[in-house]
C-alpha cells in the first residue's frame, strides 16, 4: 500500500486491473480463493501493489463486523476490492492487513499472454 510509483511484478501468474492492465497482485500472494465479493468470486491476497485505499468503513459481513477500506486501481481509479483494517471476531483477525480482489474486476495477465 502507499506506493508512489507504479510497480511491475515479475514471475508467473500476475493479476492486473481488467480495465488498464496495471499489475496488482501475484498468484504467489494468494492466501485463499474461498471468498465472495460484490461481483461474485473474490480472492484473499497477503500483499498487493498499485492500489489506493478509500475511507475506513464499518461493515457487517457474513463472518462478522469488520473495518474495511475499499481499494482502487492507482492508475484508472476503478474499484477492485477492499482491505481489512480490523476484525472484531478473534477468529477473523488473520485477515487484518490483507486484501480482497474481486475476480470479475481483475484479469490474469499470464494467461492472456499464453493465448498469443
Query: What are the residues binding Zn ion (CB under 5 A)?
Result: 17, 19-20, 22, 73, 75-76
- Please give the Cα distance from 63 to 87 (Å, whole number): 9
Least gap, CB of 106 to Zn ion (angstroms): 9
Greatest Cα pair distance, the chain, in angstroms, is: 47
Measured from the CB atom, is 25 or 73 closer to Zn ion?
73
Backbone angles phi, psi at 105, to 5 degrees: -105, 0
Least gap, CB of 89 to Zn ion (angstroms): 32
- Please give the Cα distance from 99 to 46 (Å, whole number): 6
Measured from the CB atom, is 17 or 42 closer to Zn ion?
17
Q: Could you tell me the CA-to-CA distances from 34 to 9, 41, 43, 106 in Å, in that order?
A: 24, 8, 7, 16
Least gap, CB of 82 to Zn ion (angstroms): 16
Measured from the CB atom, is 17 or 87 closer to Zn ion?
17
Least gap, CB of 4 to Zn ion (angstroms): 17
Measured from the CB atom, is 79 or 86 closer to Zn ion?
79
- Please give the Cα distance from 33 to 39 (Å, whole number): 14
Amino acid at each position: 500500500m502507499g506506493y508512489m510509483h507504479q510497480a511491475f511484478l515479475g514471475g508467473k501468474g500476475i493479476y492486473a486491473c481488467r480495465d488498464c492492465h496495471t499489475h496488482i497482485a501475484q498468484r504467489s500472494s494468494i492466501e485463499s480463493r474461498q471468498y465472495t465479493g460484490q461481483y461474485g468470486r473474490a480472492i484473499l491476497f497477503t500483499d498487493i501493489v498499485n492500489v489506493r485505499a478509500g475511507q475506513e468503513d464499518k461493515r457487517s459481513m457474513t463472518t462478522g463486523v469488520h473495518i474495511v477500506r475499499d481499494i482502487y486501481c492507482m492508475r484508472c481509479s476503478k474499484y477492485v476490492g477492499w482491505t481489512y483494517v480490523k476484525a472484531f471476531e478473534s477468529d477473523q483477525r488473520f485477515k487484518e492487513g490483507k486484501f480482497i480482489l474481486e475476480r470479475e474486476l481483475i484479469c490474469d495477465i499470464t494467461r492472456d499472454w499464453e493465448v498469443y
